[in-house]
């Protein structure tokens, strides 16, 4: 028989998971300044990994207003991590695309974050590591897809996920 958790149990677990996720990300992103790109720029660059986006699409993904995103993209252009390009199908539409420099910064940041998390995991037992692996499997299953479509190698290059 497969018993489900009670509503109170699931709420408490969701609350703990929410808090743990925030604290884990805060710990992992301590190295972000070493990329030379701001946290907001890294976040926007992560959205551009899937390809060019309009300012509106980027603002929606980042949950900011268009004028805020416009200022951010202007700064990203100034430092060379993003560029505006004309839409292939409609020349009136402008899209934002990551530059190679931007993608390198994003990969470097991701690799440093993963290294920070790996150091935390390395302090745990083999049984704890297996439990964490299973927990990530469950989270990915609940989200309906793998959480990360690619992995960052230590050399900063993009590698396909292998399972």
What's the rounded Cα separation, in Å, for the pair 25 and 29?
Answer: 6
* Sign of the CA dihedral running 53, 34, 30, 124: positive
Render each residue's pLDDT in the chain as its tens digit; 163 residues.
Answer: 457 778 789 999 999 999 999 999 999 999 999 999 998 999 999 999 999 999 999 999 999 999 999 999 999 999 999 999 988 888 888 899 999 999 999 999 999 999 999 999 999 999 999 999 999 999 999 998 765 555 544 454 444 332 2
Q: What is the model's pLDDT at position 163? A: 23
Q: Locate tokens 């884990």: which residue?
A: 24
Q: How many C-beta atoms surround the C-beta of residue 106 within 10 A?
A: 25
Looking at residue 146, its pLDDT comes to 66
The pLDDT, as a whole number, for residue 154 is: 47
Helix axes 39-48, 55-62, angle to 10 degrees: 120
In a domain, 97, yes or no: yes
**Domain for residue 100, yes or no?**
yes
Its domain, for residue 32, covers 27-160
Residue 9 lies in a domain: no
pLDDT at 2: 55
Residue 141 placed within a domain? yes
Q: What is the DSSP letter of 38?
A: -
Based on the structure, what is the number of domains in the chain?
Answer: 1
Predicted pLDDT at 47:
95
């Amino acid at each position: 028989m497969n018993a489900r958790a009670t509503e109170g149990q699931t709420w408490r677990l969701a609350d703990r998971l929410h808090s743990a996720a925030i604290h884990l990300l805060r710990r992992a992103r301590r190295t972000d300044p070493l990329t030379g790109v701001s946290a907001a720029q890294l976040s926007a660059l992560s959205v551009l990994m899937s390809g060019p986006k309009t300012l509106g699409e980027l603002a929606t993904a980042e949950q900011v207003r268009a004028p805020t995103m416009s200022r951010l993209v202007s700064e990203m252009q100034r430092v060379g991590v993003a560029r505006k390009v004309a839409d292939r199908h409609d020349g009136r539409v402008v899209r934002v695309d990551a530059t190679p420099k931007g993608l390198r910064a994003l990969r470097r940041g991701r690799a440093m974050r993963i290294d920070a998390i790996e150091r935390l995991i390395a302090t745990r037992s083999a049984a704890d590591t297996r439990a964490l692996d299973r927990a990530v499997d469950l989270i990915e299953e609940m989200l309906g897809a793998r959480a990360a479509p690619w992995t960052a190698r230590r050399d900063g290059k993009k590698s396909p996920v292998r399972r």
